[in-house]
Amino acid sequence: MASATERIPVLVTRQEKGQIAAMAKAAGMSMGEFLRRAAASFRPSEDDRVLEGMIEQMAMATAQANAAIDDALAFVEASNRRIEALEARRAA
């Protein structure tokens, strides 16, 4: 690996710095190496595709859930009408 000679100043909160330091320590590397590797592995287009896929799946699941709820409500409504008809016949 080439020797690092350039700096990129990045401002973070104290909490963010602590989190980065803890993750770097857990990975057994310096914060600089940790951040270099994280930056090198970041692929926004891949992340966007994954998120778009998740959104599409959520939309399909929501549509299916809405259809199931509509079916259940229709069944309950039809059942209530049958019960009302039975009770009306019994009362007559």
Q: In this predicted model, what pLDDT tens digit does every residue of 35-81 receive, in sequence order?
A: 999 999 987 787 788 899 999 999 999 999 999 999 999 999 999 99
Spell out the domain ranges in the chain: 10-42, 43-92
Whose tokens are 């000679």? That residue is 5
Q: What is the pLDDT of residue 3?
A: 82
Give the confidence band of 92 by pLDDT, cuts at 50, 70, 90: confident
Q: What is the pLDDT of residue 48?
A: 86
Q: What is the pLDDT of residue 46?
A: 78
What token pair was written down for 25?
């320590």
Q: Alpha helix locations (H) across the chain? A: 14-27, 31-41, 44-91
Give the confidence band of 10 by pLDDT, cuts at 50, 70, 90: very high
